[in-house]
Structure formats: C-alpha cells, structure tokens
Amino acid sequence: MNLSHLKKGFSHTFGQALGIILLQLLFASVGDSLMAVRYWDAILCAILGLLVKSGKASPLLAIGLLSVTLNLFADPASGMFFCVWFSLIPCFVLIRRIESWKEVFGWGQWVGTLLALGVFSWLGEAIETFAGISAPFAFLIALGIGLIIGFQYTLFFFLTKLLHRRSPLPLGFAGALAYTLTEYWAPFPLPLNLALAFSWTPLLIQVTDLVGMVGTSFLIAVVSGALYEIVMNLRRGTLKQAAVPAGVLVLILAGQVAYGFYCLKKYTPDPDAPSLDIAMIQPMSPLKVRNSDTEIKEEAAKNLVELSKEVIEQASSPPDLLVWPEG
C-alpha cells in the first residue's frame, strides 16, 4: 500500500516537473526577453508555494524553481545582482533532502534545464529566424540544447552529494567547490556562470582580475554555501559552529568590497586625458539577410552611409570614430 502510494506520488511530481519545463519553454517563446521569463517564473514560484501548502505539489519543485528564479533575477539587466548570493541555497536544501543517486541526477537535470531555458530564452526564436525552420521545431531544438546545458547542474548535484558523503566538508562548502568545478568544465559558448551577475557592478567585479571569472563564481558559491551553513547551524541551535561560516562570509565580502574600492580609486580616469568622440550607427535592417539578397544588402549599406553623413553634419564636431553593426 505504501509502495503504491509512493509510486503515485512520484508519478504526480514527475508530471508536474515536466509541465513546468514545458511552461518555461512557453515563457521563452512568448516573452520578449529574459526579463519577462523571470517574472513569469516568480509568479509560478508563488503558485507552487500555495500548492505545496495545500499538499498538492512536492516542496522539492518549489525549492528547485526558487533557485532558478533567484538566478534569473541576478542577471545584470535586472539590477538585482545580490540575488546571486542566494541562488545556490535552494540547491543545497534540495540536495540535502534527496537520497538516491537517481533523484540526484533527475533533480539536478531538471533545475539545470529550467535555468538554461530561462537564461537562453532567446535561443528558440534565434534558431527559427536564422535556420528558417518552423517555430515548434525550433523550440524543440532549443529544449534539446537546454537539456545539454542543464547537465552542468546534474554534475553539480552529483559532485556535491559525493563530496559531502566522502569528505569532512559541510554540505554548503562541498557544494561551492562542486559548483566551481562544474562551471570550470562547462564548455563554451553557452555556460552558466554565476560571475556574470557582477558584470554591471564595478565595485564587485574588480576581484576578477585576481581570480578570473571562475574564481569570482567560486567566491559567490562560497558566500551562498556560508549563508546556507549559518542558517542550518542556527536551526540546529549550534551557534558556535555558525561562527566559522559567518567568518568566511564576512572575510570574502569585506575583501571583495575593499579590493573594489581600491581598484576604482586607483584607476579613476583623468578628466584632462585625451578622449575620442564616437558615433554608433544602427539602422533598421532585417535580422537575416541571405547572400543572394543583393537589393537588401545594397539598401542597408545605403542607409548606413546616409545615417553616417547625417551624424557628421549634425554633430558639433566631426566624430573621431564611426561604429557600424557587424554584417
């Protein structure tokens, strides 16, 4: 009876997990940007929370989707870079709750695929436009690519569980090390990088010249792991053990901020230094132009020349450099 109940619960959770992936693909197809996808995910997260509270959904689904949503909100365009420090915490909670290696593989792949479909939400439309294929087929290919990219999180979940079981490292710090290794191994050109969250935050990105992009991701992962360990120790009532991750947290954040201030002060531009006046020309052109489309190419070139002349005539002084789009 219990076995039958477990199988039914697994089937129900699997169906919901698959449905959420399809919804993510739908969000990517109808949303005009990653910004739209992250807000859809936030709404879906809230709905899942209500379903969990009423006993109609597994809490693991809500935990996994929360990690994805935090990661998407950490995108530089949102201005909420601080979300990246919390984005791995739900993953650590998820890894702690699951036991079998089959579950580790499944949940890691699910979280990674959702994240990949969110981060690269433009992929389906790009494939449709440049490959000249139908939208359903293009988004099916995008799903396949999302599964491949998402495997990074499968490795992350697997290594975290392995390190935690076979080393003295606390789960949060084992996860930080495991995440960094998987990001380092992730192939170009479509990796999932935590460090990108700081790309529009000059104060925090300066440390990259010391440790590189993967090193910056490692610092983020360690902060996330430290936050997780602090919360877990406080919940267990082991306040003394919380002191170590708290010290690591303060050391990393203080060091990163201090180095950022040092670099920004050191490399402040001289207002009297020579400068360049640059004009960027961006005409309205089709996204896809075939080699045989001679008339379209000639029209695009004509527009570029005319806009360039217009800029030169209207500027108070002729620009030193004209920048045209690639093509």
The answer to whether residue 188 scores a pLDDT higher than 80 is no
State what percent of residues in the chain have pLDDT above 70: 92
pLDDT in tens, 102-155: 999 999 999 999 999 999 988 888 888 888 888 889 889 999 999 999 999 999
The answer to whether residue 8 scores a pLDDT higher than 60 is no
Read off the pLDDT of each residue in 220-228 and give the average, rounded to a whole number: 98
User: What's the pLDDT band for 281 if we cut at 50, 70, 90?
Assistant: confident
Q: What dihedral do alpha carbons 206, 210, 213, 217 form, nearest 10°?
A: -90
> By CB neighbour count within 10 A (0-12 exposed, 13-18 middle, 19+ buried), where does 211 fall?
middle
Which residues have a Cβ under 8 Å from the Cβ of 305 and sit 6 or more positions away?
Answer: none
Q: What is the pLDDT, as a whole number, of residue 217?
A: 97
pLDDT in tens, 50-97: 999 999 999 999 999 999 999 999 988 888 999 999 999 999 999 999
> By CB neighbour count within 10 A (0-12 exposed, 13-18 middle, 19+ buried), where does 170 fall?
buried
278 or 158: which carries more pLDDT confidence? 158
User: What's the pLDDT band for 33 if we cut at 50, 70, 90?
Assistant: low
Q: What is the pLDDT, as a whole number, of residue 6?
A: 42
CA angle 139, 77, 263 (to 5 degrees): 135
Read off the pLDDT of each residue in 259-287 and give the average, rounded to a whole number: 83
pLDDT in tens, 93-115: 999 999 899 999 999 999 999 99
The answer to whether residue 269 scores a pLDDT higher than 80 is no
User: What's the pLDDT band for 287 if we cut at 50, 70, 90?
Assistant: low
Q: What is the pLDDT, as a whole number, of residue 292?
A: 55
- Which is it for the CA torsion 94, 229, 150, 125, positive or negative? positive
pTM: 0.85
Q: What is the pLDDT, as a whole number, of residue 294?
A: 73
Q: How many CA atoms lie within 13 A of 97 on its CB side?
A: 14
